[in-house]
Chains A and B, each alone.
Chain A
């Protein structure tokens, strides 16, 4: 894991390279953190079934790092423009994952809970549809397919 007290950049990381406590610790290093009254976090993990309910043994995440990092930066910049948002980190992991492994972290620090809840949701919906990352689910029967 990353060294505590180190500022973490949003972006694409390898599986296991970073965890939620490290990100929260990093967001607390923001010089304006005293203005925050709340920190919200979203942790996407690997579900044991596909959207259609088929059992999954694991999944792979592939990422176009250069483009995905730019897109993540754009989303974070947009979210930081919202009044009351102090800071945001979006971390997407890549590699091969087992059931319940961490895939994504979104952490938002906000002055008040209302804008924090809303910003967290916006950030999650945007990363799902915008960042250049692809998922391949490995089914129990041995087959696998990239989802789009």
Chain B
């Protein structure tokens, strides 16, 4: 069971603070994103670059409260109990 944490735009679009997804063990982050987009189509334009379909460079991904290196995004395989968050550029007060 993978837990997704939602912040800012993600929280507004999903109307949730967090959500769990079943059957994602050993799947990739790209699989997770595809699953999210099916459920919340508005996330596509936030997460994916319309030119090449890849994850936008402005998006950071946090795994278990640490930012994952961009090089690892495509190869990482989700583990049960992973906590994932997609982060847009910050805007402190």
Contacts and interface: CB of A to CB of B under 8 A. Distances in A.
A79 B22 CA distance: 43
Interface in A117-136: 127-136
A67 interface: yes
A128 B65 contact: no
Interface residues of A, number: 28
Interface in B38-93: 58, 62, 65-67, 85, 87-93
A47 to B, nearest CB: 10
Interface string B1-31: 0000101110110000000000000000000
SS of A interface (majority): strand
Contact of B90 (A70, A93, A103, A131): A131
A104 interface: yes
Interface stretch (A20-28, A58-66, A81-89): A58-66
A130 B8 contact: no
Contacts of A128: 92
Contact of B88 (A103, A104, A146): A146
Given A134-B7, A134-B8, A135-B93, A67 B88 contact: no
Nearest to B60: A132
Contacts of B65: 66-67, 70
Nearest to B62: A67
Contacts of B62: 64, 67
A126 B89 CA distance: 14
A147 interface: yes
Contact of B91 (A64, A66, A97, A134): A134
Given A62-B7, A62-B8, A67-B65, A92 B93 contact: yes
7 contacts: A59-B93, A62-B11, A64-B87, A70-B65, A92-B93, A128-B92, A135-B93
Interface of B: 5, 7-9, 11-12, 58, 62, 65-67, 85, 87-93
